[in-house]
Structure 1
Amino acid sequence: MLLNALKKARCSSLIAVVLAMTIISCTDDDTVNKSPRSAAENNEQATLDSIFLYAKEIYFWNEALPEYDEFAPRNYSSSSGEELKNLESALFDITQYPINPETGYPYEYLGPGITSPKYSYIEENSSSSSQLGYLAANKLEGEEEGYGFALTAVGAEDIRMRYVTKGSPAYKKGIRRGDRLLAINGRNLSIKSQADIDFINGAFNTDSFTATITNADNETDDFNLSSSSFEISPIFKDTVIEATNTKIGYLAYYTFSSLTNSQEGLEAAFKKFASANVKDLIIDLRYNGGGYVTTATLLTNLIAPSRLNGKVMFVEHFNETMKNGQATILKNKIYKDGNGNKIPYNGRDLTYYDLDYSAAGNTTRFEKEGTLETVENVYFITTNGTASSSELVINSLKPYMNVTLIGTTSYGKPVGFFGIDIDKYTMYISNFRTLNSKGEGDYFQGFEPDFKSDDDVTHDFGDPKEQSISVAIDLATGNVPGFGRTSRESSFKPINIGKTPQFNGMIEKRINIKK
């Protein structure tokens, strides 16, 4: 779960995200006292205890975990000085116990030799290099830092802008997706060697550089670019595409940021679609790793017709321990609102134990937003970067609307998590999964596309010539698109380069109290 801000103080309180809890491994904290062993010898051991003990109660697959003595969390402690690595190692091993019967591998298995879980992670709160923490605390609130663009090489000497964040200095200078980056500080670029790649990556770690870029009109110019903080628009592009005998609404959406950051832009886009009476929508989520469930719900309600009002959109399911009120570790954990204030409840402060974790109490139903009522077909563009809240929107609409997926297989993350502060760290471990109205939600391996298509980074968002968009237009106009489309004639495998971390998460901000 996302924290709106991360406290550096060792025993800090929760920073205002519903279903994110502060669990501090201090000497008087009940997490350590729950340990069946003697008191921990140091903070690292206490933190390892806490990681395991909280997982035993609130991890979604907690029933698959061994008992404390068998797992022996303190055995992960060492004097190497690499405490975070030790914690990550323990968390990884915890997440490898639950096995997906459909694959025979752990639900959180990423691949051979990879020692990071697919969903869960732990970070040091005070670390300025913690990219997931930075993204969690800033990006989803509408702020970003850096150069504001990402790169993909589609040839040894052909490096393109994969995307340019709207609102970034690069975007304001007219740089767009599909533009070709020729040189940095006068050095012509290629990826023929590791040294070439290291040079490009290194440029992103500097405060500024000069980029030589050729745009879609074959115009070449030098741009003096600086790394900075900036306010983003989460919408890459929205437009109405004029196709044969039809109008198609197109939305390229970057991240499910807070409603404060996303709502105005989304509502304006769908007002435009409603005015054009579009019957087909292309929702481009190729780089959208998720974000706030409240914003995903808004987008779903903007797409869906009012005839679905009152019907189930999705249900969040927690583990049986939490459903049955047996996660007693939450009793002393105070819940605070978005401003860090305690909430009075029955003459005392509201705690996380007071929240309702039942399926009935966590069912979201359709409630139409906007005036768009004419949509007959929804085409989602997906890649491996499409995750969490993006997949939630797709899964929620599938039972009710004609949904078609175009692109490549999505990430596969039907689970969300709580943020748990332990000493100077925050652990994000899978805590709930979502199912649609048909009880469907087993897309742990991702959604397979109905029509495969490359991520064609040589064309901008909304360009009808871009491969995935072209497939959608063909379908909307009654043409049969070719299978296995490719934007490249060569066998060169595209390579993403540069400093482009992505947040993958499904973040719940709403509060439901037990009745």
Structure 2
Amino acid sequence: MYDLNHRCLYSILLIFFLFSCKKSSLDDNNLSPITGTRKELTIDSLYLYAKEIYLWNEALPEYSTFLPRDRYSNITAEKDAIKKELFDITQLKVNKTTNIPYEFTNYGSPKYSFFEEKTTRSPKLNAYSKETNIGNEIVVARVNDISYLAVHSFPELNNIKSDLDEAFSKIASSKLSTIVVDLRYNNGGYIETAEYLANLIAPSMLNGKLMYSESFNQTLQFRNTKILKNQPYLDSNGDIVIINGRKATMADVDYSEKGNTYFFNKKGNLESVKNIYFITSAKTASASEMLISLFKPYFNIKLVGEKTYGKPIGFFPIHIDKYSFYLSSFLIKNANGWSDYYSGMDPNIRVELSTNPILGDPNEACLKSIILDLYGNSKIAKTSQQIANREILKMKNPNKQLNKNVFLTENRLKLKNQ
């Protein structure tokens, strides 16, 4: 629902305005005052939604204790008030392993949760990095007995599926047992896209085996929500869905773990993979970390490069007035129930990453380290003289870029009993 054309986006904003701007419709249980300025109502609404959908909502006190409008209404700029409120909300749950909040950062914004102002224009989504001159292309290469793939983001699946299929058609034809997936610039995106890539890599023998699950808080799982009914549930075309003669809302979604568990379903023809190496950096986050995690129970994978960002948390958007909020809403767990990489995943082979690497080049530091790990010194000299069979697939859709925020976005939430 994130990447919409101009017409659909305008219609959706109108729907969200009608659903969420009026505070009186939010407050059926006297949770907070039903009158106030637009700014006060937005501040209240953010806290009330967090009480229902935030992953660690048990750490949030009652409204009467927190009193959000008393805390933040005196901050002059509305965006500054919202930013401060969101940060304070996200610092209430402490990770007992580290003794710091799960979402702690040193720069006044949460590590995971964020918000943005909605617009009637198509959002400017750009994952291009001036620092590295790396665009959003896919790089495919063959080096010795290794298949190499670099993917720089996970946009919505329909925007990248044909490119991934083309890349894996080339990879499958080589029938090599080792694949290197370069995620050093990939800060995440849509879960469905990362899942599709996993199914392209995985052999058919994994079909039907548990891939991952999404775990929501108890309030959502047991459907004890009061105000989530004010968020309309839209289909993939951005249209309102009718159930039982009424408009469906986000309160009608199935948030159970069973209903949000996913299994391997092989795509493409690649069946030969035995070894998986992931090239990572501090920018490797979110859906790209999920891709790594879901293979851990089934492959002896290795990470090469730098420690990852650390984000096993996902979102779905909540719309309040002119803002879209992405509050940490569910935990991603692999087949072993593992999700504890809040501080990032450490590399098995630590490599200092260069600023402007030639991706897929056997002399590039990470790929060279992988060749050494696989073959020892015997092939390093020979490989260093080799020109890799390398191809850059330019993505065909200009709207494939993601914005600067670290995403793990679920756009496939299903209605209960549907």
Q: Distance in 2 between matches of 1:450 and 1:481?
A: 21
Offset from partner CA, 1:458-501 (integer Å, 9 cap, x none): 4311111111111112223245999xxxxxxxxxxxxxxxxx97
| Aligned residue among 336, 344, 359 for 1:461 | 359
Q: Report what 1:93 is aligned to.
A: 88
Offset from partner CA, 1:236-271 (integer Å, 9 cap, x none): 311111x2xxx2111110110122221111111111
3-state SS in 1 of match to 2:301: strand
Report the count of equivalent residues.
394
Q: Distance in 1 between matches of 2:117 and 2:327?
A: 15
Q: For the Cα contact (< 8 Å) 2:199–2:265, is it kept in 1? A: yes
In structure 2, do the counterparts of structure 1 residues 344 and 10 end up closer, same or farther at CA, with 3 Å as the change threshold? closer
Q: Which structure carries more relative contact order (alpha carbon 8 Å, separation 6+)?
A: 2
Q: Distance in 2 between matches of 1:417 and 1:480?
A: 47
What's the CA shift for 1:340? Answer: 2.1
In structure 2, do the counterparts of structure 1 residues 296 and 23 end up closer, same or farther at CA, with 3 Å as the change threshold? farther
Q: TM-score, normalised by structure 1?
A: 0.72
Q: Report what 1:124 is aligned to.
A: 117
The answer to whether structure 1 residue 340 and structure 2 residue 238 are counterparts is yes
Q: Distance in 1 between matches of 2:241 and 2:52?
A: 24
Q: Distance in 1 between matches of 2:274 and 2:156?
A: 28
Q: Distance in 1 between matches of 2:221 and 2:31?
A: 25
Please give the residue correspondences for 1:297-308 in structure 2 after superposition, counting only pairs within 5 Å: 297-308=195-206
Q: Distance in 2 between matches of 1:404 and 1:431?
A: 29
The answer to whether structure 1 residue 12 and structure 2 residue 14 are counterparts is yes
The answer to whether structure 1 residue 76 and structure 2 residue 78 are counterparts is no
In structure 2, do the counterparts of structure 1 residues 478 and 257 end up closer, same or farther at CA, with 3 Å as the change threshold? same
2:133 partner amino acid: Y
What's the CA shift for 1:275? Answer: 0.8
Q: Report what 1:39 is aligned to.
A: 34
| Residue ranges of structure 1 left out of the alignment (5+ in a row) | 16-21, 129-133, 152-161, 166-233, 483-499
Q: Distance in 1 between matches of 2:259 and 2:352?
A: 41
In structure 2, do the counterparts of structure 1 residues 77 and 332 end up closer, same or farther at CA, with 3 Å as the change threshold? closer
Please give the residue correspondences for 1:388-407 in structure 2 after superposition, counting only pairs within 5 Å: 388-407=286-305
CA RMSD of aligned residues (A): 2.6
1:514 partner amino acid: K
1:60 partner amino acid: L
User: For the pair shown, which has the larger CA radius of gyration, 1 or 2?
Assistant: 1
In structure 2, do the counterparts of structure 1 residues 480 and 78 end up closer, same or farther at CA, with 3 Å as the change threshold? farther
Identity %: 39
Please give the residue correspondences for 1:197-208 in structure 2 after superposition, counting only pairs within 5 Å: none
Q: Report what 2:386 is aligned to.
A: none
3-state SS in 2 of match to 1:477: helix
Q: Distance in 1 between matches of 2:54 and 2:234?
A: 22
What's the CA shift for 1:291? Answer: 0.8
Report the structure, 1 or 2, having the larger strand content: 1
Offset from partner CA, 1:346-386 (integer Å, 9 cap, x none): 33332222211111110000001111111111110111111
Please give the residue correspondences for 1:246-261 in structure 2 after superposition, counting only pairs within 5 Å: 247-261=145-159
3-state SS in 2 of match to 1:402: coil
Q: Report what 2:323 is aligned to.
A: 425
3-state SS in 2 of match to 1:13: helix
Q: For the Cα contact (< 8 Å) 2:32–2:44, is it kept in 1? A: no
2:15 partner amino acid: S
Report the structure, 1 or 2, having the larger helix content: 2
1:105 partner amino acid: I
Q: Distance in 1 between matches of 2:181 and 2:379?
A: 18
Q: TM-score, normalised by structure 2?
A: 0.87
Q: Report what 1:321 is aligned to.
A: 219
Q: Report what 2:396 is aligned to.
A: none
Segment of structure 1 superposing worse, 254-263 or 359-368:
254-263
Q: For the Cα contact (< 8 Å) 1:285–1:390, is it kept in 2? A: yes
In structure 2, do the counterparts of structure 1 residues 428 and 361 end up closer, same or farther at CA, with 3 Å as the change threshold? same
3-state SS in 1 of match to 2:101: coil
What's the CA shift for 1:330? Answer: 2.4
Q: Report what 2:98 is aligned to.
A: 103
Segment of structure 1 superposing worse, 452-461 or 439-448:
452-461
In structure 2, do the counterparts of structure 1 residues 427 and 400 end up closer, same or farther at CA, with 3 Å as the change threshold? same
Please give the residue correspondences for 1:149-160 in structure 2 after superposition, counting only pairs within 5 Å: 149-151=129-131
1:164 partner amino acid: I
In structure 2, do the counterparts of structure 1 residues 441 and 27 end up closer, same or farther at CA, with 3 Å as the change threshold? closer
Q: Distance in 1 between matches of 2:93 and 2:378?
A: 42
| Aligned residue among 459, 477, 484 for 2:375 | 477
What's the CA shift for 1:40? Answer: 3.5
Q: For the Cα contact (< 8 Å) 2:24–2:35, is it kept in 1? A: no
Q: Report what 1:163 is aligned to.
A: 133
Q: Distance in 1 between matches of 2:379 and 2:87?
A: 42
Q: For the Cα contact (< 8 Å) 2:55–2:216, is it kept in 1? A: yes
Q: Report what 1:237 is aligned to.
A: 139
What's the CA shift for 1:511? Answer: 3.4
